[in-house]
Structure formats: C-alpha cells, structure tokens
Structure 1
Amino acid sequence: MSLIAILDVAHPDLALTPTIRECPDATVRVVPHSTTDPETGLFFFLVESADETIETAFDDDHTVTDWTLVNDFGTTGIYQLQHGDETILLSPKVAELGGLMLRAESNDRGWTVRLHLPDREALATLWEYCEDEDITFELYRMFRQEEWVDGLSPELTDQQRAALVNAYEEGYFEEPRETSLEELADQLDISPTAVGGRIRRGTGKLVETTLLEE
C-alpha cells in the first residue's frame, strides 16, 4: 500500500516560479518523461498560453538558463528547458525518498503537485526538507492507494476539478446561471480566462473518459 499526496509548493527559486507569477493566465505542466536526467538540468514542460509573453518571461526567469520550443500547437507548446544550479527542483528529493511525481501543474504562486510516496514517513521527511529550504508546503489531500495503476490516468487535474466543483456548487451550470466566470475567478483567485479554460478542458476530459467509446 502506498500514499498519494496532493500539495502546493512555492518558493522564488523553484523551477519556473518567476515565469508562473509573471504569466498568471498561462498553465504550465511538467511532461512526464522517463529519460529525464536531473543531472543534465533538462526538463520538458507543456505550456498553454494565449500569447507569446511566456517566452519573454523565460528570458527573464533566473531559474531558466536556456529554452527550446520543441512542438508548437498554437496556444499550446512543449518546451525543453534547462535550469541553473541554484534552481530548486522537488522531483529529485521525491525520488530520493522512493516516490514519484505523478503530476505537477502551475498555480498562481508556484506548483500544485500530486505525489506517489511509499508511506507517511516519506511525506514527513519531504515536509521537513521543504521547511529547511523555506519552501511553502500546503497539504490539501492525502489518501492510501491499494495498488499501482499503470497507463494514462483519466482523472482531471486538481485545478480542473476545483474549478468544476466550484462552478457546480455556485450554480454556473444552472439555467439561468447563478454566477459568472468573474465571480468564480474571484473565489479561486485566478483570472476569468483561466477559470473558463479549466472548466472547458475539464468538461472535455469528462466527456472523453466517460462518454466516448474507443
């Protein structure tokens, strides 16, 4: 039996934090990648952004020493980034504890991560590491997982789930609507554009994983 933990981490020197804070409407996700080698400083990120200011932010980001656009899909791009020696990376510490970083997505201050850890002791050790490094550590959910699930996960991202649940509870899906994107944005402390994107992508994922047949 293993442990799944969902938490927020934030620090000015965490990878891409300056870019995330400079471009709050952009969504940045770490691309899971079996050949990533922390020793090289090379990592892959998927970026959803409506404009090209993200690349200007990369140039000004002290955690980024070099970047390359690998694939361009219009408003979404895959980037290969190299981090400097002073950049804080959480994934090597998680791996050292025998865990895996299953998902990492940007929020307004830093990163929301979903971790697969061997036990509570590993989580406590990670918390102590973050405290020693002055990394903000906010645990949202923690639950046991009985078995390893291989392959692609049909789950929503934590941000999409939060946006959809909040929208449902506030009556966004009622007719007529009982709330607006602007009001939801105030509650979630993000922009209306970001809320709308999370609701749209989350709804699409629900349709894809529950209604469509192969």
Structure 2
Amino acid sequence: MAVIAHLRIPADSFELGRILELETDGTIELENMVPLEQKAVPFFSVSDEVRESFEQNVENHPSVEGIVEVTRHDGERLYSLDWNVSRDVFFEGVIDLQGQLLSATGTATTWEFEIRFPTHEALSEFQEYCANAHISLEIGRIYNPVRPGTGMWYGVTRPQRETLIRAVQGGYYSIPRRMSTQDLADDLEISDQAVTERLRRAIETLTENTLIAMEEELEEEFEQAKES
C-alpha cells in the first residue's frame, strides 16, 4: 500500500542541492521533474533577488550541462536544468525504489521533499539506503494516501492547494468562466505557466490519491474475496 513521506535533508548532502546552491536568503521550488530519455530534467523557480549568484554557481558546476531560463514573471524566474542525475545518490535511491517526487523546496541550508513510495517497505529501504550513503535524513509526517482522511492533503502541496482553491472559488472552472489563467496568475503573483502546471499536478495527484487509489484498493479486496 502506497505511502507519502515528508522528508528533510541538508542542502549540501545531495548533488542537486549542491548544484542549486544559494548564498543568500531565498528559496527554490522544484516545479516538476520530467523524464527525458536517460535524464531527469528538473524545472524550478527562483526569485530575482538570488538569481545572479545562483546562475553563476549552477553554470560552473561540473554536473551541469546547461541551464535555460524558461520564463520570468513578477520577480520570479522558471528554469530548466540539464544535469547528470547518475551523480546524485539521493535521487538514484528515489528512482531505484520507485519513489515519485511530489514536491521539493530548498533554502541555503535545507531541502524539504514530499515523496510517494509504493509501500511502507520501500520507504524503510530508502531510509536504510540514505543511512548507508551517509545522507542525514529527517522523516516528518507519513501517511497513507489510499484511505481518504488519513492524509490531510492527499499529497497536494501547499502552493498547489492555494492555486486550486483560488481557481475554484474565483470561478476558473465555472461555465461561463469568471476567471482566466492570467487573472489567477496575477492574483497569486506567479507566471501563467506556473498556474497551469500547479493546477495540472494538483488535479493529477488528488485524483491518483483518492479516486484511483480507492478503485485499486476495492479491486484488490474483490480479488482477495474471490480467492477465499
């Protein structure tokens, strides 16, 4: 049965954290991690106040093959990163144990992750894997997304929740629509592309962790009942 775990690790304990090094106060939010052939291409947003030193650190890192500014909006820039994920022990462990990255936010000292693992055993194996790799891993809230009510937000992150709630309350999904994507972006002070991505991920995660998960659980129970 799948579980979602909130994890915290030092920024300097894994490769991507060292690549995305911040020298001043600020945050980096990982918007998405897109598989591309043998690579995993992350998209992340950075505020303008730390952009210059951030870009210089990233471009000079030996694991980085390229960084591209995708868009900018109201003091925030969205980047895509071409990097060698095989050098990152932390993410290799996530991939090997079939973990799915739901969210990640980093500061100059710490990164916080929300990762879904297929079973409790996979999460335990990941903890042991990190210990053997000398990665200081702090486990926060753990919950089972299959049963509605056991996890407070069903894997939907705070920015995704805020965006989805404002969209519904503002009439984004009404007929006729009372709020456009740009209206929602202006309200949240982010780019319209970030709005679209947050809504997509929120709806996908919410559906997977409620409707689909419950369907799978009911099917499993039905099969067990037939065998007995």
TM-score normalised by the chain length of structure 2: 0.59
Shift of 1:44: 2.2
**Unpaired runs of at least 5, structure 1:** 158-200
CA RMSD, aligned part only? 3.3
Per the alignment, residue 98 of structure 1 pairs with 98
> More helix by proportion, 1 or 2?
2
In 2, the alpha carbon distance for the partners of 1:120 and 1:29 equals 26
- 3-state DSSP class of the match of 2:94? helix
Amino acid aligned to 1:122: A
Greater C-alpha radius of gyration = 2
Per the alignment, residue 50 of structure 1 pairs with 49
Contact 1:20–1:110 (CA<8 Å) still a contact in 2? no
- 3-state DSSP class of the match of 2:80? strand
In 2, the alpha carbon distance for the partners of 1:122 and 1:74 equals 40
Moved more, 68-77 or 78-87: 78-87
Contact 2:102–2:113 (CA<8 Å) still a contact in 1? yes
The sequence identity of aligned pairs, in percent, is 19
1:11-66 deviations in Å (ceiling 9; x for gaps) = 444204353342431x2122324x42372364322223335322123234454342
Amino acid aligned to 2:158: L
In 2, the alpha carbon distance for the partners of 1:92 and 1:62 equals 18
* 4+ long deviations beyond 4 Å: 204-207
Count residues in correspondence. 165
1:92-143 deviations in Å (ceiling 9; x for gaps) = 4323223211111113424211011122211111111111221110011111
In 1, the alpha carbon distance for the partners of 2:120 and 2:73 equals 40
Per the alignment, residue 5 of structure 1 pairs with 5
Distance 1:86 1:119, change over 3 A: closer
Per the alignment, residue 213 of structure 2 pairs with none
Shift of 1:86: 6.8
Contact 2:99–2:116 (CA<8 Å) still a contact in 1? yes
Per the alignment, residue 158 of structure 2 pairs with 156
In 2, the alpha carbon distance for the partners of 1:105 and 1:5 equals 14
In 1, the alpha carbon distance for the partners of 2:30 and 2:5 equals 17
Amino acid aligned to 2:64: V
**Unpaired runs of at least 5, structure 2:** 149-154, 173-228
Per the alignment, residue 18 of structure 2 pairs with 17
Shift of 1:155: 4.0
Alignment of 1:213 onto 2:215: no
Per the alignment, residue 77 of structure 1 pairs with 77
- 3-state DSSP class of the match of 2:144? strand
